[in-house]
Structure 1
Amino acid sequence: YPLLILYLLAYSLSGVPRTQLLKPIPKKETFREISKPFKKVEALMAVGFSQAKALKMVSDTTPGKVLKGFLSRFAQAISAGEDPSEFLEREYDTALIAYRSLHERAMVKIRRLADAYTAVISSYVFVSVNLVIMMVMWGSNWVRVLNLIIVSSALTLGSMSLAIYATAHPSKVVIVEKIGGRIPRPLLVALVSTVVSATPIVFIYTKTKPPISPVFFVVASGGFSLFFGMPFVRKVRAVKAMDEHYPTFIAALTGTMSALGGRLREALTEVLRIDFGPLTKLVRRMLARVKLGIDHKTCWRVFGEESGSELIRFHTDVFVDSTSAGAPVGRVGELIRRSVLEHLTLRKRREEAVAYVKGLLMPLHPALSAVLGLITAISTTFSRIISQYQLTAEVPFSIIKATPPAMIELCFYSVLIVFTLMNSLAMSAVEGSQSPLPYYMGLFTMSGGAAFFLTKTALEALISKALGGLT
């Protein structure tokens, strides 16, 4: 919402007639989700309704409280004859205050939800352990037990991750590449990784021993996720570094352009005396395009796309659209600088919440995985002892039935995979972005898998030695 008001405010400074003020909104990708009311306003005006009347009619049917209130207030301001830029400037200040307050409350809620999430996942580990041990001792149907564990834990933890995501609100840092124009690349990598790591679970339902150890699938899935996930993480860091320098760049450029009468080529040459960190390379490329005589709008558009930053791309669009329409360069530059600084401040607050949740889940996941590995070793050893006893005993147990050790290991491995996926989703939800999902999946898969299999192998060897090779 503050970005919408910023765009309208900057565009209104050009002196464009108020009847033309809302026309660019439906064409912008950033406002695609809220463009429908503005399309309705334009349609009503096209058939003869006044702008104030059209805004009032659309506001009455708009479901969102924030947008509904804005349209209603805008209609009243137009009816009263108030200058649109004055109304939008007041509205922008109010929107920033409200957005800042909402963001602060959201970060507090995230911490509380994270505390609840860690408590729930810890309890689910021990509930799962008890269920599987009952399956081992009494020969219960492990498929039914496994379905119960997977479905209940996935629904509970998944709903909590969804609650975290809804509370945190999406945070688009990087311009995400989409495969086929539909599926975001990080999401596709995470999906492939999940399929690879979950492949051994198929053997539970076929009740056959897998030809390859689950360790192979852990290494393959974790390695695949980290291989493709690390570039996403590095890109996010690079984009954030450029975002940090953007306010300085836009302030220096607009100030120089104001002094030089709006000449972009000379202004870029002057500001390149300043070091803008990783943004300097992109500024040099834009200057080279300007010198080649390429249209300035195209140069700015390519600059925004090359940055890979949603923040830079949007604010660059605001600058180009408003100044091209005649808005004062210096005034627009100050609005953009203020907006970017506000978003960077809120981003740092989110990073504090991310660090808090990461501090909870990063050590907790391998610790719980080690617990699963420990119980797996005890359960498989117990199953082998029961199997050997029933083969040699004159009076075998009629109550306790041995479950194949391979099936026991796969059941606990399935629990590990579910928790790995849920923890990865929770961390991505806190960050409010899909970009780090493959990285977290790789990190949790490798750390959890290492803790699980190392603990299991070490304890099985220790028990076997203690029992004199009985197992």
Structure 2
Amino acid sequence: MSVDKAGTGISNALEFVSDLLESYDKLDVDRREYVGYILLPATLFLLLSTVVAVTVSLPLTVTLPVIGIGLVVFSAAAVYPKLYINSRKAHIENQLHLVMTHMTVLSTTNIDRMEVFRTLSREEEYGVAAEEIGRVVHLVDTWNQSLDDACRRRAKEVPSKTMADFFERLGYTIGAGQPLEEFLLSEQDVMLSNYETLYESALANLEVMKDLYMSMILSMTFALVFAVVLPILTGTDPTLTVIAVIVLFVLVQSGFYVVIRMMAPYDPIWYHPEGGAPGDRRLYTALGVGAVGSIVLIAITGLGMNGIGPGLPGLLWFLDSTPLPLYICVPLTPLFFTGVILRREESAITARDEEFPSFIRALGATESAKQSTTSKVLESLREKDFGALSPSIERLYRRLQMRIEPEGAWRRFAIDTRSYLIQKFSEMYLVGRRMGGDPKQLGELISANMNVVIQLREQRRQSTVTLIGLIYGITAAATFAFFIGLEIVAILTDLSADLSLDSMEIGQIIYAGVYDLPLIEFLLLTIVLFNAVLSAMMIRTIDGGNPANGYIHFVVLTWLGCLTAIGTRALVGDLLAV
């Protein structure tokens, strides 16, 4: 069994090295240039740091970090090509379903098949996928290769296996004489199936990360509790111990955030036009109100702590005393208002997304049946109930009736909805209609694609709900554990002060004098605040919404942690006092 495991490990290591070496050939720079300008200096830096650490007489706490920095620099330089290629692969696969839908829409029109590729290669929003299509166009236009040869040639270089397979099939199909439209329409089911698999596998990986996250945070919680309590028995400096564990806690949580951000599927909800949108003023006002409100409360609190003005106790006049945790959570409360406003706007965007497939399908079918213009069809369609999308449809109809050119009217329609998907798919429909595509076919194609995305978003929403419950539970449990340890130490400190240490020799058992309890309480509240920030960012990353919506979770998690701290200290103090 051990031999098999060793063989598997060696095989995996050799495969990794092979992939790494292969990635050097796929960089945008020449392999020799990368080795000479990047990898060689990093190797020399590692050797230099190792020589310095070995030859110079330094403490072990300095020697290890010096060698560690050299290893980090060398590892980053050595592994960067693979990370770069993996990043390009992720960018392609995140955009591929939109690229293929756009390509299919263009193929159903009356334009040449090379013009389809040229049009997509100019779509900067598709990023790396557009670059790969542009390279196919370059092979055809510059090197006079046929489209099928160019696709097969580029398939060997594309970092994404999904796109490479697509280019390979496309090349052989075009070479066999099948029209581009027929091939792409038959590929829709394959493309959607691949996209669903990619999306669902990312969500499954996030579920695994949730379990790991809970385990690691609980481990860090136990470590921090021990760091608070044990010094009373050992006499070591608790402040340094607590700071060390807090730094480790921060690094672990930051690492999980980075990994979750890399693993989360790319599926933006908001559309951000270059010139802004009509509702931006309201959103920026909400952001300003929240920020200014927090700054004002922070200023009042800070001035009060220096004896100027009423301070926080003056604002909370109805409390007999102001616990330290309230100095953290109260000044942040106005940001909750900002989060609520943006959450409402995002919910409205989601509602419009859900109505768009039925609208675009009805529009395409009616245009095809009546053989009429979009404005004439909208005259009857606007009477139907399309829920949250109805006001935007009404404004689209009015703009078309005012003889505004269709491109401008549809662009304003996308800005009204603020939806990324609606913007992309409405643009595809408009281009397809302008170039002679069948409106019914276009409507059904776009509707089917968007329905798949909406269903996947629902799975993502459910995954986010479980993460929110997990984070709120961990926050309450961890804070409870932190402050139980702190209150026990505070009670033992008071007890040792009341006893005669000379006669009872308590000082040999309890080292109460090493504690600076207000400072340790402040450090614990700092980790509560940091946990709220990172947790809110994780939630926003997984659900794909606007980062500003995280203000709601940030404020609520901060209040949850602070109230748990206050309640824990009061409860434990009362129980142990009895």
* 2:568 maps to 1:455: yes
Matched residue, 1:266:
376
**1:35-74 aligned within 5 A:** 35-50=130-145, 51-74=147-170
Check conservation: 1:229, 1:437, Cα contact below 8 A: yes
Deviations 1:190-222 (A, max 9, x none): xx89x99xx9xxxxxxxxxxx98442222223x
Deviations 1:69-114 (A, max 9, x none): 2223222222222211111122221111122233333333333322
- Partner SS state of residue 443, structure 2: helix
Deviations 1:383-417 (A, max 9, x none): 34446669998978377233121112012213323
Q: Across the two proteins, how many residue pairs are aligned to each other?
A: 444
Check conservation: 1:387, 1:402, Cα contact below 8 A: no
Deviations 1:335-380 (A, max 9, x none): 0111111111111122222222223333332233223232222223
- Partner SS state of residue 52, structure 1: helix
Matched residue, 2:219:
123
Check conservation: 1:380, 1:409, Cα contact below 8 A: no
Matched residue, 2:360:
250
User: Matches of 1:393 and 1:216 in 2, distance apart?
Assistant: 41
* 2:278 maps to 1:153: no
**1:6-405 aligned within 5 A:** 6-50=101-145, 51-135=147-231, 137-138=233-234, 140-142=236-238, 144-175=240-271, 213-221=324-332, 223-386=333-496, 397=507, 400=511, 401-405=513-517
User: Matches of 2:236 and 2:523 in 1, distance apart?
Assistant: 13
Check conservation: 2:111, 2:435, Cα contact below 8 A: yes
Check conservation: 2:361, 2:447, Cα contact below 8 A: yes
Query: Larger RCO: Structure 1 or Structure 2 (Cα < 8 Å, ≥ 6 residues apart)?
Result: 1
User: Matches of 1:273 and 1:434 in 2, distance apart?
Assistant: 32
User: Matches of 1:179 and 1:130 in 2, distance apart?
Assistant: 54
Cα gap change, 1:3 to 1:375, in 2 (>3 Å)? same
Which residue type is aligned with residue 177 of structure 2?
G
Cα gap change, 1:259 to 1:24, in 2 (>3 Å)? same
User: Matches of 2:275 and 2:248 in 1, distance apart?
Assistant: 32
Matched residue, 1:413:
525
Cα gap change, 1:255 to 1:283, in 2 (>3 Å)? same
Unaligned runs of 5+ in 2: 1-95, 277-282, 299-310, 313-323
Cα gap change, 1:266 to 1:136, in 2 (>3 Å)? farther
Which residue type is aligned with residue 459 of structure 2?
R
Check conservation: 2:468, 2:539, Cα contact below 8 A: yes
Check conservation: 2:392, 2:417, Cα contact below 8 A: yes
Deviations 1:32-65 (A, max 9, x none): 2422212222333332422333333333222222
User: Matches of 2:142 and 2:500 in 1, distance apart?
Assistant: 87
User: Matches of 2:273 and 2:573 in 1, distance apart?
Assistant: 46
Moved more, 138-147 or 24-33: 138-147
TM-score by length of 1: 0.84
User: Matches of 1:176 and 1:438 in 2, distance apart?
Assistant: 20
Which residue type is aligned with residue 109 of structure 1?
N
Deviations 1:197-250 (A, max 9, x none): xx9xxxxxxxxxxx98442222223x1432222222212211111111111111
- Partner SS state of residue 22, structure 1: helix
RMSD: 3.2
4+ aligned runs moved over 6 Å, structure 1: 177-180, 390-396
User: Matches of 1:92 and 1:267 in 2, distance apart?
Assistant: 28
Check conservation: 1:12, 1:85, Cα contact below 8 A: yes
User: Matches of 1:424 and 1:150 in 2, distance apart?
Assistant: 19
Check conservation: 2:236, 2:514, Cα contact below 8 A: no
Identity %: 21
Which residue type is aligned with residue 331 of structure 2?
A
